[in-house]
Structure 1
Amino acid sequence: MLKKLFSHTLVYGLAPQVVRIAQIFVLPIITPFLTTADYGVFGLITAVLGAISIFSNLGLNIVLSNSFTKSPHQYKWLWRQIYGFLSLWSIIYAFIVALVIYLFIPDIAKADALMIVILNVLPLVLFGPTGVIGSMYYQLKQQPFQIMIRSVCVGLMTLVLNIYFIKYLKMGYMGWFWAAAISQILEHFSYFIPLNFKLKITPIFNFKWRTIKKQILICLPTIPHYYSGYLLGSFDRIIMKFYKVDIQSIGKYNMAFIPSGIFTSGTYAINQAIGPLLLQSYKNGDKKTEVKLNFISAIIVLVLTSIVCLFVKEILPLIIRSKGLEDVYKIAIVLIMASNSRPMYIAANNKLFFLEKTKALLKVTTIAAGISVVLNVICIYYFGFKAAAFTLFLCNMYIGYSGFFIKEYKESDNANHSPLIWLVITLGLTALVYFAADLSIVMKSCIALPILLIGGIAAFKINKKYSV
């Protein structure tokens, strides 16, 4: 079990890191050919489309995973109906995307509006939910290499296309849109062949409305749940723009997300790896395995984030060489440590997903999103852009731990995950690394070593205690 967790996490985590490392070398090549207007146009369109992206599959991916786990020999029938429905829905969604782009596109890009719309809706019209269903199949089948090889190839291809369109063709922001569209089409196509011809998971367009309606009613409450992620992760920059925070400060905040983004993708890799294993433990009523997976995942993330944050002051200048970013490491520490909420989020919310108590998730995510918006509106105004990092940290802690205390979770027969103990440990380590970051390398090494040793010993004892 643990061998699968580590190997699958490595595979899921390797793909985004390969692309991120390559991106570091690509940025110096293309940035001389981009202006602040290019960043503005692409950033605005991307943010707006991110706000409606949750409606692309109406949350039906939950039904895909649950049906696969609960009916391993009959899931294809339901999958094919959902495939057919979402293929038709994708056409409607494409019109919504087009309308949103036309409403929000800046004046400077009006001349390219039609092409921007075409490049954004073409993958939807051609392939619909193919990529989502294909990647979901390989994830649930515990074949992470199939996903990794596609992610690496498509990610690297996107970077190469960015160089071609932006540096050589000098297309500015349009280079990003062209590269993204071509890469998405090829990625969808790579799933289309095995999904439709090898696995015989073909769309049923004559689906049963009663079946689809039932599944949508289960999944609709998850739309606000996932949309809250947008409010937590991106809305702070919209507030900064509203308050006319200078572009240099917003740039610092965005730069601080580079190292935190690596850990965010790492925790999502753990989520992808641990998800199928947790579903099996739920199905089998195996609480020992459930707790062991969660605790060891939490230890891995805590140890790695803490040690990196101790030395982030020395690491960042090696990655980001732009001037004026000397003090960004403090923001990066807060954002990186916020990733520690993810293992506990998985432990509580995956169980609610499995039990199909999706409405309960609104109590967690909607409140977190509301707190984030209110705190950012107040704190950015009074304390500046850096306050957004602390708001994100607090809201991540809330969203990660509050699921354990809601009525629906308490009423189910659940294992004891000791959430308050983990919360105290996380807060303590965050305060420690935040204030220790300015110490000498020798002193920080003396702090890092005990963290590593204690984490290793704790993981060993937990594995031994909860082994079946």
Structure 2
Amino acid sequence: MLRKLLSHAAIYGLAAQVPRLAGILTLPIITRYLTTVDYGVAGVVSAYIVALSLIQSLGLSVVMVNSFARFPSRFKWIWRQLHGFILLWSVLYTPVLVGVLYFGIPAEAYPHRWEIIALTVIPAVLFANTELLGNVFCQMSQRPLPVALRSFVVGGLVVVLNIYTIAYLRLGYMGWFYANFFGSVVGFFLNGYTIYLQEHLWPIFRFNWHRIKASLRVSLPVVPHNLSFFFLDASDRLVMDVLRVPLPQIGLYNIASSFGLYFQAASNAIVQAASPHYIQLYAKPADREAALQARNMTFALQVLFLLGTFLLSLWLKEIFVLLIKNKALQAAYPLGVIILMGYNYKPMYLAVMHQLVYLEKTKLLWRVSTVAGVGNMLLNLIFVPLFGIEAAAYTTFASLMYMGYSGYLLKDFRQVTSNNYHPWLWFSVTVLALLTVYGLADADLDTKVAVTLVLGIVSGLLFFRTRKVLFA
């Protein structure tokens, strides 16, 4: 199973991450023409968009996943009804999005206020639902190639347009908005081919209200769960905006946190590939071998994530110097180390989350995700005024750790799992890894090379000794 997971992750990742890697490599080109104000405007606006986009789907993707697994012969009928309902709900959602953006766009961007609103609202309302259906369908049917190709095409287009609008036209932060808009348009047509022409998942507007109400009872508790990711990933910038932190400081934090988000985006290939396997394994509650495979898969992914975040954090100073051709922005790398190390929480989190979702115990998710997200926001409100933007990096790390490990305290999870995941051992290793790499961030190159080689050798030996178990 792990072999299949990694092969699917490679397909998701290779096509999706080549444009993203190209985007990172273009930073030396575009950062010459960007300021901390540009990053501040983009960070604040994107935070509002992400927050509201999580409300748009009402958490109904969970119902789509479960209906695909439970009713393989008639899931399309359910999906078409949900599709129609979400489109009608978008009629109410649109003025809310416009109003929030109108008042939330920073004063520095007022000359382009209506352009920004148009470029963000139109894709969100018209295209987002089709993208949701396309991604869930391909993920659950274990067809990674269409998703990968769409990601490659759209990502490549956005990279090219970013260079053209920022480095050639000198549009500053507006370059990002134009590039993302045209990328969304192309993505809609690519998703539409799969959803409408191949699978005939046209929306049904005369839907069964009993079906919709039953679906909302499962999905609505997921909305605060999904919002927690906003509170963890993007609310820092909104809190700073509310606290009137200078926009250049927000921009500095934004560039630091973007490297954590780069890693999370890259790791989503593994998450997409792993999700169907978790659902398949948890669908066999009496099979001890299936439970053991789920645990082994989680441990393997956790080692991979720890190794990846540690090595990236170790070399983050050099990466900033190489990619960020702006002295003011280069100073953000210590914050990036702290934030980046927090994002290795995901494998341990996935093991709990997928178990609860499959059992439709979505009302429990808030105890993990919502507490982590709201806690992060409250901690920022308390500590950012006292200690500055550095406090936001530490609170983000702490909240991500809570997200990853608090689920193992839930009684419902402990009752259905027959294997010990050793969460507190993994938590201790993660904290120790953060302290170690933070101390090595300014070490000389010889030391960093030596550490990298040692980790590579140890990882190779560990893989060689456990390969039979992992690929069983």
Same fold (TM over 0.5): yes
Aligned to 2:443, the other structure's residue is in SS state coil
Q: What are the ranges of 5 or more consecutive residues in structure 2 without an aligned counterpart?
A: none
Q: Residue 385 in 1 paired to residue 385 in 2?
A: no
Letter in 2 for 1:136: V
**Whole-Å separation in 2 of the counterparts to 1:167 and 1:440:** 33
Residue equivalent to 1:282: 282
Aligned to 1:201, the other structure's residue is in SS state coil
Residue equivalent to 2:158: 158
Identity over the aligned pairs, expressed in percent? 37
Q: Is the 8 A contact 2:37 2:251 kept in 1?
A: no
Q: Residue 434 in 1 paired to residue 425 in 2?
A: no
Q: Which moved more, 1:51-60 or 1:7-16?
A: 7-16
Q: Is the 8 A contact 1:16 1:265 kept in 2?
A: no
Q: Which moved more, 1:334-343 or 1:393-402?
A: 334-343
The superposition leaves residues 389-441 of structure 1 with CA deviations (integer Å, 9 ceiling, x where unpaired) of 11111111110000111122123244322211211221222222221333333
The superposition leaves residues 350-395 of structure 1 with CA deviations (integer Å, 9 ceiling, x where unpaired) of 1111111111111111221232123222322222211211111111
Q: Is the 8 A contact 1:13 1:265 kept in 2?
A: no
Cα deviation for residue 119 of structure 1 reads 3.1
Q: Is the 8 A contact 2:278 2:294 kept in 1?
A: yes
TM-score when normalising by structure 1: 0.91
Residues 1:107 and 1:430: Cα distance change in structure 2 (over 3 Å)? closer
**Whole-Å separation in 1 of the counterparts to 2:41 and 2:450:** 47
Aligned-residue Cα RMSD (Å) equals 2.6
Residues 1:273 and 1:441: Cα distance change in structure 2 (over 3 Å)? same
Q: Residue 82 in 1 paired to residue 100 in 2?
A: no
**Whole-Å separation in 2 of the counterparts to 1:247 and 1:198:** 47
Residue equivalent to 1:101: 101
The superposition leaves residues 166-191 of structure 1 with CA deviations (integer Å, 9 ceiling, x where unpaired) of 56656555444333222212211211
Aligned to 1:81, the other structure's residue is in SS state helix
**Whole-Å separation in 1 of the counterparts to 2:159 and 2:398:** 34
- Map 1:404-415 onto structure 2 (within 5 A): 404-415=408-419
- Map 1:174-323 onto structure 2 (within 5 A): 174-285=174-285, 286-323=290-327
Residues 1:325 and 1:181: Cα distance change in structure 2 (over 3 Å)? closer
Cα deviation for residue 112 of structure 1 reads 4.9
Residues 1:55 and 1:107: Cα distance change in structure 2 (over 3 Å)? same
**Whole-Å separation in 1 of the counterparts to 2:263 and 2:206:** 43
Letter in 1 for 2:104: F
Cα deviation for residue 138 of structure 1 reads 0.9
Q: Is the 8 A contact 1:288 1:467 kept in 2?
A: no
**Whole-Å separation in 2 of the counterparts to 1:33 and 1:455:** 41
**Whole-Å separation in 2 of the counterparts to 1:57 and 1:44:** 22
Residue equivalent to 1:444: 448
Q: Is the 8 A contact 1:90 1:124 kept in 2?
A: no
Residue equivalent to 2:343: 339
Residue equivalent to 1:63: 63
Aligned to 1:129, the other structure's residue is in SS state helix
Aligned length: 468
Residues 1:147 and 1:292: Cα distance change in structure 2 (over 3 Å)? same
Aligned to 1:415, the other structure's residue is in SS state coil
Residues 1:153 and 1:427: Cα distance change in structure 2 (over 3 Å)? same
The superposition leaves residues 262-302 of structure 1 with CA deviations (integer Å, 9 ceiling, x where unpaired) of 32123222111111111111113411221121111111111
Letter in 2 for 1:66: N
Residue equivalent to 1:350: 354
Residue equivalent to 1:130: 130
**Whole-Å separation in 2 of the counterparts to 1:303 and 1:171:** 38
Letter in 1 for 2:132: V
Aligned to 1:155, the other structure's residue is in SS state helix
TM-score when normalising by structure 2: 0.90
Q: Is the 8 A contact 1:87 1:128 kept in 2?
A: no
Q: What are the ranges of 5 or more consecutive residues in structure 1 without an aligned counterpart?
A: none
Q: Is the 8 A contact 2:259 2:336 kept in 1?
A: yes
**Whole-Å separation in 2 of the counterparts to 1:327 and 1:35:** 13
Aligned partner of 1:420 among 408, 420, 424: 424
Cα deviation for residue 463 of structure 1 reads 4.5
Cα deviation for residue 3 of structure 1 reads 1.9
**Whole-Å separation in 1 of the counterparts to 2:333 and 2:108:** 34
The superposition leaves residues 429-463 of structure 1 with CA deviations (integer Å, 9 ceiling, x where unpaired) of 22222213333333334433443333344444444
Cα deviation for residue 256 of structure 1 reads 2.0
Residues 1:237 and 1:43: Cα distance change in structure 2 (over 3 Å)? closer
Letter in 2 for 1:47: A
**Whole-Å separation in 1 of the counterparts to 2:335 and 2:167:** 32
**Whole-Å separation in 2 of the counterparts to 1:433 and 1:174:** 36
Residues 1:22 and 1:321: Cα distance change in structure 2 (over 3 Å)? same
Aligned partner of 1:464 among 443, 465, 468: 468
Residues 1:459 and 1:166: Cα distance change in structure 2 (over 3 Å)? closer
**Whole-Å separation in 2 of the counterparts to 1:127 and 1:254:** 26
**Whole-Å separation in 2 of the counterparts to 1:317 and 1:200:** 49
Q: Is the 8 A contact 1:45 1:101 kept in 2?
A: yes
Residues 1:246 and 1:356: Cα distance change in structure 2 (over 3 Å)? same
Q: Is the 8 A contact 1:296 1:459 kept in 2?
A: no
**Whole-Å separation in 1 of the counterparts to 2:389 and 2:60:** 36
Q: Is the 8 A contact 1:335 1:393 kept in 2?
A: yes
**Whole-Å separation in 2 of the counterparts to 1:439 and 1:125:** 48
**Whole-Å separation in 2 of the counterparts to 1:248 and 1:111:** 18
Letter in 2 for 1:123: P
Runs of 4+ in 1 over 6 A off after TM superposition: none
